[in-house]
Amino acid sequence: MRFFLRETFPTLAESPLVYTRRCLYTNTLDGPFWIDHYPEISALSFSSGGSCQGMKMAPVIY
């Protein structure tokens, strides 16, 4: 974090860190991601579980 601040925002590099949070992965319980249609709205679909898999597979999903 400090390295990033020194390189990007030098005046903030030594400021106290007041708050942090984690970036949560959206993995599913068994690993694969989900892609499905929303039952009540035919034009709506959803996907989840794409911590990295979604980005890698996006070009082949249409």
pLDDT exceeds 60 at position 24? no
Across the range 3-24, mean pLDDT stands at: 84
Boundaries of every domain in the chain: 22-62
CA-CA distances (angstroms) from residue 21 to 3, 13, 14, 24, 60?
18, 18, 19, 9, 33
1 pLDDT band (50/70/90 cuts)? confident
- Contact (CB, 8 A) for 51 and 26: yes
User: What confidence tens digit (pLDDT) does each residue in 26-57 have?
Assistant: 666 676 777 788 889 988 887 776 656 666 66
From 59, 50, 45, select the one nearest 32 (Cα to Cα): 50
For residue 8, name the pLDDT band (cuts at 50, 70, 90): very high
